[in-house]
Amino acid sequence: MDYFVIGSLLVSLAAIFGFINVKFLKLPNSIGLMLITIVFSLGVLGISVIDDTLLNAEKSIINSIDFETVLLDVMLSFLLFAGALHTNFEQLKVQRWPVLVFSTIGVLISTFLVGTASYFILQLLGMEVSYIYCLLFGSLISPTDPIAVLGILKKAGAPKKLEAKIVGESLFNDGVGVVVFLTLYRIASSGGEKIGPGHILELFGTEVLGGIIIGLLLGYITYRLMKSIDDYDVEVIITLAAVMGGTAVAHHYHFSAPLAMVTMGLIVGNDTVRASTMSEITETYVDKFWELMDILLNTILFVLIGMEMLVLSLEGHYVLAGLIAIPVVLLCRYASLLLPVQFFKRRLHFVPRTNLIMTWGGLRGGISIALALSLTDEMHRELFLVITYFIVVFSILVQGLTIGKLVEKLGVKAEN
């Protein structure tokens, strides 16, 4: 199927579903779009009993899209730059050490806990899965998704310092999670070849440090270019070119494009930089352009996630494993945050029950599904894809809908 036709259909569905959500459901966009798309896909499955024409057409669209490439190599850079551009930089600077620990050590601990728990649970269910593949699953499900978090947390009414922790962690931990995933993937597919600490450090340095350095460089170049002119049209194009060109360069040199875009977005969006580079009209146009880009790509992404259910192998034991994995992953996230929260709450003023709110507010999304899709059949791709899908849908529909109520119930609503 032609890419233009596929893109047109996805944008049309996103527009229709978005209209239904805004007009009738009035849910946060990511939640409403996924819910409507899942209901639509279930309706297509029901109709297929009589006539499978629509089902085959929808499956054809999904099978024609390389979800992993579309999300990780294209959409993610735009979404992360847009999210970082509107992040409260001053709060993030105050919370920088907790955010750093949550997005690195927290991800590593969660990977080990989820992987170990999954190994024993799958053994009890009669599925022989190697421990390294379970660790691989732990690494892809541990990072929280900034795309899902950013869209929902804004409406939850959490204090800014708590929002900075959750959003900051989500912006950075996907890059770390991808590095951990790639390292374990290389070990799992090495066929007995030993992967030493040197290889791991090289991969970490190339992906993470390289991504941050190129983000700093691009941020500075963008700042200098925008500072030297006063033309909002050209300045908007400069930010777009920085994201597209920076992503291409990062991919070419095997740097982490997500971390590069987050770093650049934080620099360009910093209040001090804004004040010295953008006129009031430029700031308005830049913000509105990237807000529109964020909304458009988010709508397409969550429509795609909802439609993915049509290509899943929903076997009974896979479904059971997915249902059991939901509370297990939540418990592992809670445990992985326990020590860092206890350590930092004595040095920084944490709101009550920070660990609980960060656990429930740590949503999973398209990044986890994209990584699960990159697994090979030998790595039990279908099993882990089903489990991942159940966790992602639960986190967005259930956790996303109730995080605001949890914040309110715990009495930690944002200060006036």
Reading the chain (416 residues) residue by residue, the pLDDT tens digits are 678 988 899 999 999 999 999 999 998 888 899 899 999 999 999 999 999 998 998 888 888 888 888 888 888 899 889 888 988 777 788 888 899 999 999 999 999 999 999 999 999 999 999 999 999 999 999 998 776 676 676 666 667 777 788 888 888 887 788 878 888 888 888 765 666 677 777 777 788 889 999 999 999 999 999 999 999 999 999 999 999 999 999 999 989 898 899 999 999 999 888 999 999 999 999 999 998 998 888 889 889 999 988 889 889 999 999 999 999 999 999 999 999 998 888 777 787 888 998 999 888 988 899 899 889 999 999 999 999 999 999 999 999 888 888 888 887 765 53
- For the domain bounded by 69-409, which CATH number is listed? 1.20.1530.20
Instruction: Classify the C-alpha dihedral 244-245-247-248 as positive or negative.
Output: positive
CB-CB contact of 158 with 408 (8 Å): no
Domain range summary for the chain, segments of one domain joined by +: 69-409
**How far is it between the farthest Cα atoms of the chain?**
66
Select from 306, 366, 309 the least CA-distant residue to 148.
366
CB-CB contact of 34 with 302 (8 Å): yes
Written as one string, the DSSP assignment of 73-117 is: IIIHHHHHHHHHHTS-HHHHHHTHHHHHHHHTHHHHHHHHHHHHH
CB-CB contact of 242 with 64 (8 Å): no
What span, in angstroms and rounded, lies between the C-alpha atoms of 110 and 191?
26
What span, in angstroms and rounded, lies between the C-alpha atoms of 368 and 144?
9
What span, in angstroms and rounded, lies between the C-alpha atoms of 406 and 402?
6
Select from 79, 188, 97 the least CA-distant residue to 139.
188
CB-CB contact of 381 with 372 (8 Å): yes
What span, in angstroms and rounded, lies between the C-alpha atoms of 367 and 136?
14
